[in-house]
Amino acid sequence: MDSQSSESSGVGQGPSSCKTTVLRDQYEVLRDIGHGGFGQIKLARHCLTGAQVAVKVLQKKGQKLQVLSEPDMMRSLEHPNVIQLFQVIETLGNIYLVMQHAGGGQLLDQVPLGGMQEEEAHRLFREVVCAVAYCHDKGMVHRDLKPENIMLDARGLTVPGPQSCGL
């Protein structure tokens, strides 16, 4: 998948239940998995490879410049504890950010009622601090760091969620 593309590249053709034409050729949208102040997050499957991805849908109309620059900032990030941007698809009304799907869910959902074990909390905290330091070294800040925006992969490693790093 081309992370630099701003148009649908035509990679992978196949059936899809997606109602958005520009995504239909490449992805099958499976379901909504989240939403935030700037957009919705959908779980999708890449038609050619079968890989699951998260697709953040940003509406252009009425959005601030900071939101519209998010794809440019995410392109420059490559860290094991930061969600990876695979592709950007841009239409007249929307920007679709196709990103790594962290299948372990939100950190908030993984914290038991009495709190987590100290050793596990230390490990997760180190991973978050490492990712935040990486973003800061690149001149970026997250701006909405909270347990709902810290995602875990299938192995339980942290990856700051689709809010991503931003100015």
86: pLDDT strictly greater than 70: yes
56 is in an annotated binding site: yes
pLDDT for residue 104:
87
- The pLDDT of 9-25, averaged and rounded, is 50
- The pLDDT of 56-72, averaged and rounded, is 70
The full set of domain ranges for the chain reads 21-100, 105-160
When computed from its CA atoms, the radius of gyration of the chain, rounded to whole angstroms, is 16
**Domain at 105-160, CATH class:** mainly alpha
φ, ψ dihedrals at 22, nearest 5°: -65, -30
Q: Tell me the CA distances in angstroms from 66 to 87, 103, 153, 164, one per residue in order.
A: 19, 27, 27, 12
The tens digit of pLDDT for each residue in 119-154 reads: 999 999 999 999 999 999 998 888 888 888 889 987
Q: Find the catalytic residue in 25, 32, 109, 144.
A: 144
- The pLDDT of 37-52, averaged and rounded, is 90
pLDDT for residue 20:
57
- The pLDDT of 90-113, averaged and rounded, is 88
CB 66 within 8 A of CB 73: no
Residue 153 falls in the annotated catalytic set: no
Give the residue with greater pLDDT, 149 vs 162: 149
**CATH homologous superfamily of domain 21-100?**
Phosphorylase Kinase; domain 1 (3.30.200.20)
* Beta strands per DSSP E along the chain: 27-35, 39-46, 52-59, 85-90, 94-100, 105-106, 150-152, 158-160
Q: How many CB atoms lie within 10 A of CB 101?
A: 23
Q: pTM for this structure?
A: 0.75
Average pLDDT of the chain, as a whole number: 78
Query: How would residue 43 be classed by pLDDT, with cut points 50, 70 and 90?
Result: very high
